[in-house]
């Protein structure tokens, strides 16, 4: 059995992970962590997720949580994820980080942690999105003469824009086609908004309760190809995180990708 620490345990995704983990006999929630000012500190992690009490109180001590677990799943805030990545250097545990909006400093912290432990840092832990990135990479290599646009839609309360997944798709396009990543255009407006050669348009829509939708458009003369993924429930991200952490346990230290699960 894999004993898990859930970081961001009282958030929407943290609760999804707790519910999904509780339904699997090979997994157990051993510790649950939130930031020090969270109102749910001290509450049972299971009861907070709408299931039977697990006997695991939500705490704020990362290191105490790490001592109690075999592996980590993190859906929290960028500052909390940064603290986790720092802690993993001295207390290595296989870890899956699904926090969005991470900055370059988090990337450096992830590289340091990955030197000590197996790690996946991904803004989208859906298996389907991993396949979408794989298909996007292949299409970008084959459709060199096509214009490319990326569009994402999320619920009205999502804070970062564009989404981490859209940014990852942009990076995938650069890898697949050799396009200049500096040509990304985030939305268009004004009287001189004509598409320029080589640019990739990135568009973020916000509204309603949309879980997540990402589309990559390859636009040629008289034809177009659309690669699209629609998340109908947050549960897919929780299940993806659980599959990823199972896969990580026993691996050598390193920074892995969701793509590695099906390679």
Radius of gyration of the chain (CA): 19
Phi, psi of 205 (to 5 degrees): -110, 140
Q: How confident is the model at residue 202 (pLDDT cuts 50, 70, 90)?
A: very high
For residue 182, the model assigns a pLDDT of: 53
- Active-site choice (15, 43, 154, 214): 154
Written out in words, the top-level CATH class of the domain with range 2-121+234-261 is alpha beta
The position carrying tokens 């309603």 is: 208
Query: Residue 111 pLDDT > 90, yes or no?
Result: yes
Q: Global pTM? A: 0.83
C-alpha 11 chain-centroid distance: 14
Predicted pLDDT of residue 213: 97
In Å, how far are 94, 102, 140, 151, 189 from 247, measured between CA atoms? Answer: 10, 23, 29, 31, 45
Provide the pLDDT for residue 21: 97
Does residue 157 carry a pLDDT above 70?
yes
**Mean pLDDT, to the nearest integer, of 147-159?**
95
What per-residue confidence (pLDDT) applies to 261?
A: 84
In which band, very low, low, confident or very high, does the pLDDT at 102 lie, cut at 50, 70 and 90?
confident
Place of tokens 């345990």: 9
| CB atoms inside a 10 Å sphere around CB 182 | 8
Is residue 178 predicted with pLDDT exceeding 80? no
Mean residue pLDDT of the chain comes to: 93
Is it the case that residue 7 has pLDDT exceeding 80? yes
- What pLDDT is stored for residue 253 in this prediction? 98
Q: Tell me, which fold does domain 127-231 have in CATH?
A: Dihydrodipicolinate Reductase; domain 2 (3.30.360)
**pLDDT for 159:** 86
pLDDT for 179: 60
Which DSSP helix (H) or strand (E) runs through 139? Answer: helix 127-142
Report the b/e string of 16-39 with b at 16+ CB within 10 A.
bbbbbbbeeeebbbbbbbbeeebe
The C-alpha atoms of residue 149 and residue 139 are separated, in whole angstroms, by 13
User: What is the token pair recorded at 157?
Assistant: 């309360």
The model's confidence at residue 27, banded by pLDDT at 50, 70 and 90, is very high
Establish whether 194 is a catalytic residue.
no
pLDDT digits 0-9 by tens, 206-242: 999 999 999 999 999 999 999 999 999 989 999 999 9
* 3-state SS string for 37-87: CCCCCCCEHHHHCCCCCCCCEEECCHHHHHHCCCEEEECCCHHHHHHHHHH
pLDDT attached to residue 262? 74
| Sheet of strand 2-7: strand arrangement | 58-59, 27-33, 2-7, 71-74, 95-97, 118-121, 254-256
For residues 102-111, average pLDDT: 93
**Catalytic annotation, pick one of 35, 158, 186, 251:** 158
Question: Average pLDDT in the 31-35 region?
Answer: 97
Domain-wise residue ranges, the chain: 2-121+234-261, 127-231
Query: In this predicted structure, what is the pLDDT of residue 174?
Result: 84
Q: Is the pLDDT assigned to residue 256 strictly greater than 80? A: yes
pLDDT of 177 above 80: no
Is 154 part of the annotated catalytic residue set?
yes
Q: Report pLDDT for 223.
A: 98
């Amino acid at each position: 059995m894999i004993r898990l620490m859930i970081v961001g345990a009282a958030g929407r995704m943290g609760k999804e992970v707790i519910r999904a983990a509780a339904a699997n006999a090979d997994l157990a929630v051993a510790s649950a962590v939130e930031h020090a000012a969270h109102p749910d500190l001290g509450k049972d992690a299971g009861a907070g997720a709408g299931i039977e009490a697990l006997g695991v109180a939500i705490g704020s001590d990362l290191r105490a949580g790490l001592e109690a677990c075999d592996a980590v799943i993190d859906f929290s805030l960028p500052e909390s994820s940064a603290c986790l990545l720092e802690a993993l250097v001295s207390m290595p545990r296989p870890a899956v980080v699904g926090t969005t909006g991470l900055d370059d400093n988090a990337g450096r912290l992830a590289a340091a942690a990955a030197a000590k432990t197996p790690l996946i840092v991904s803004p989208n832990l859906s298996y389907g999105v991993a396949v979408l990135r794989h298909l996007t990479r292949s299409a970008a290599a084959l459709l060199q003469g096509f214009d490319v646009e990326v569009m994402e839609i999320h619920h009205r309360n999502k804070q970062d824009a564009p989404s981490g997944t859209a940014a990852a798709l942009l990076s995938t396009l650069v890898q697949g086609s050799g396009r200049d990543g500096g040509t990304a255009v985030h939305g268009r407006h004004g009287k001189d908004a004509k598409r320029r050669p080589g640019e990739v348009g990135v568009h973020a829509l916000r509204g309603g309760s949309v879980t997540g939708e990402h589309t990559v458009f390859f636009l040629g003369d008289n034809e177009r190809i659309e690669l699209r993924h629609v998340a109908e429930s947050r549960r897919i991200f929780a299940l993806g995180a659980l599959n990823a952490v199972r896969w990580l346990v026993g691996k050598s230290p390193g920074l892995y990708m969701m793509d590695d699960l099906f390679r």
